Structure 1
Amino acid sequence: MSIIETQRERTDLPLVAVPNIVDSMLEPFTSTLDLLHDIARVRIYTDFTLDEDTLVERMDGAKAVIVIGFHVSDAMLDRVGDHVECFAFGGTGVASYINLIATRERGIRVCNVVHYGNGAVAEHAVALIMELARRTGRMDAAMHIGGWHGEDGTSLENKTIALVGFGGIGQHVARIARGFGMHILVWNSHLDAQAVHDLEATPVDDLGELFERADIVSLHLPLLADTAGLITPEHLNHLRPGTIFVNTARAEVIQPGVLTSRLQRGDISAGLDVFDAEPLPDDDPLRTLPNVVLTPHVAWRAEAAYASLTKQVTQSIAAYFTGESFNVAN
């Protein structure tokens, strides 16, 4: 573990702590630090940890914290709330990582990032679809072991994809799907009529009907009070045998346990990048299912997304200390 510090001698400036960082984010993040020159000093810990005691220790004395890859639990908030004045969250779904009500009650600002990884997440969702449709990864693994065993694939042309959520990421998936010659169904609580028209999508008001008509279902909802547990066992029971189900959004938009139960029936397949518990426990039953492709919450991890994310969190910290507002979530 190493520590990178800026303006170390400027003890008159407030401290910003970065207690965790993904290796690939270090270069784009350090390139944004000029935005905090003469505003705040920064301390970056270059290794990654989820140990709460270590994270709290690394926040010691900081007035602002950049949150990357870890949850600020209520217990952690109690331990650092006497000195932290601003959290800048680098990711999607800030409400599932930081208690926005508790921070607001304490007078702690929480900032998020917006539209930083639309392309990255959309492409990862399509990568999961492609793997489930053509099994290239599984065949590659088999070829490296030895032998010459192929598998039949599924063509995406003329298939119907249902997008649950039609914001920036959902619309990006729709653009890719059009390139494959797919039919697009969309559900969203507030649809962008122009985007629906431009992408030749068909709105469907009822989720059960949406699921029943789809060959592929891909979730692109933020986790909010009205989306938590939105998808029920009844909705999943509408999936026809052979349907591909993809979630690169948040696991919590599905009622707990019901997707695992549906997948254990074995007649549908799924590509999942998000889970109720992260990291996914080694003994989680999802790991045993041959009809599931799993990735460890990495859909957002791409160079363009890193550049946008790191710039936005730095801008939000600079705005806080200069009395301005930028990407405030609470």
Structure 2
Amino acid sequence: MSAALHSSAEPKPAQFRPKVALAMQDVDLRDALFSKRLKSRLEAIADCDFSEVIQDFSIVPNELLGDVDVLITGWFSPKINAEVLSRMPRLRLIAHAGGSVKAHVLPECWERGVVVTTAAEANALPVAEFTLGLILLAGKSALAASNLYSQRQTKIDRELEFPETGNYERAVGIVGASTIGKLVLERLQPFDFDALVYDPTISDAEARRMGARRVGLDELMACSDIVSLHAPVLPETVNMIGSRQLAAMKDGSTLINTARGELVDQEALVRELVSQRINACLDVTNPEPLPAGNPLYGLPNVLLTPHVAGSMGTELHRLTAYALTEVERYAAGEPPKFPVGLTDLERMA
């Protein structure tokens, strides 16, 4: 990757200041990503016209693209294809202030020698934190206890009502040793959980290094008190959690999905949850949002949140900080910290 950073025809001077352009959804996202401090940080090492946010390359004049060295992209960036690259001969780095680059960075970028980086690890942190919180609350039967307390509005005998509740020696199954899945496993280690992991791409030794025991999907679903999904959406993972897997879950167990709704057969999930045999904490669904009147909105055993696990609010600044680190490294002639290769696209969400 370091060779690609020096792939321009002329050597860069010691005080090289790249020209940076922003490509993302809109100015509101720009303002959410860049605090005053982060804007000053970029201005200290690069030239960037913050008033220009590229939402559609086709309407941007060539003179504004021809001398761009770096693109900082955000959510819903326009696609960077061969035609765009032909208009940006100096482009050497795409620093994505977000997670997956699959939707906007096309293979032509790597073929042209452009370095691509991502802040996926930064975006994974709040998801892992949110998931850990859900796991701990699920283990304490917080949703059921809250509902019962609201119904009775009097003292609750917790030992009588929730004799199986607690986070000691609970089995937690992690489906997918992705970036987020690994972070969740790491955060589970200080607790007294029995961690299981299903991921056909890792070995038993790798699972042990993550503090978990590698098992098959069927065993994980049947043995776990709490199942948390962290797999990417691929042809082989769509509806990987179907009727058989849901039926195998223990009575009273909890399914957590902070990944993608497509991983679960939605109709099978609704049937299982309507029976109230199991519980669910769902930050994502399929479709998203669910249509008005969907039974999941009103079920006492379901916690629905509107896709809040990922970076939001102040957490967006972490994404920008990761992207700016890549710009700084590029300006200094150093290799990227979080590069994305062409083959990585296959495993991205």
What stretches of structure 2 of length at least 5 have no aligned partner?
1-17, 66-70, 343-349
- Structure 2 equivalent of residue 254 of structure 1: 264
Q: CA deviation at 1:137?
A: 6.8
Distance 1:224 1:242, change over 3 A: same
SS at match of 1:160: strand
Asked if 1:33 corresponds to 2:42, the answer is yes
Residue by residue over 1:281-316, the C-alpha shift from the partner in whole angstroms, topping out at 9 and shown as x without a partner, is 444443222211122222233789545421333456
Provide the rounded CA distance (Å) in 1 between the counterparts of 2:306 and 2:335.
33
Distance 1:289 1:316, change over 3 A: farther
**What's the TM-score once normalised by structure 2's chain length?**
0.66
- Structure 2 equivalent of residue 67 of structure 1: 74
Provide the rounded CA distance (Å) in 2 between the counterparts of 1:146 and 1:32.
55
State the identity %: 25
Provide the rounded CA distance (Å) in 2 between the counterparts of 1:221 and 1:329.
19
Provide the rounded CA distance (Å) in 1 between the counterparts of 2:195 and 2:289.
32
Provide the rounded CA distance (Å) in 1 between the counterparts of 2:77 and 2:290.
14
1:1-330 maps to which residues of 2 (within 5 A)?
Answer: 15-18=21-24, 19=26, 20-21=28-29, 25-27=33-35, 29-30=38-39, 32-34=41-43, 37-38=46-47, 40-43=48-51, 64=71, 66-68=73-75, 70=76, 89-95=96-102, 98=103, 111-134=117-140, 136=142, 147-148=153-154, 150=156, 152-153=161-162, 154-191=165-202, 193-204=204-215, 206-301=216-311, 306-314=316-324, 327-328=339-340, 330=342
Provide the rounded CA distance (Å) in 1 between the counterparts of 2:144 and 2:44.
45
Structure 1 outlier segments of 4+, above 6 Å: 80-87, 102-110, 137-146, 317-325
SS at match of 1:217: strand
Equivalent residues of 1:229, 1:252 under 8 A apart: yes
Distance 1:231 1:195, change over 3 A: same
- Structure 2 equivalent of residue 50 of structure 1: none
- Structure 1 equivalent of residue 9 of structure 2: none
Amino acid at match of 1:287: Y
SS at match of 1:42: strand
Distance 1:160 1:111, change over 3 A: same
Distance 1:160 1:88, change over 3 A: same
SS at match of 1:179: coil
Residue-pair matches, total: 304
Provide the rounded CA distance (Å) in 2 between the counterparts of 1:117 and 1:17.
18
| Cα RMSD after superposing both structures | 4.6
SS at match of 2:120: coil
Q: CA deviation at 1:124?
A: 0.7
What stretches of structure 1 of length at least 5 have no aligned partner?
1-11, 46-53
Equivalent residues of 1:122, 1:173 under 8 A apart: yes
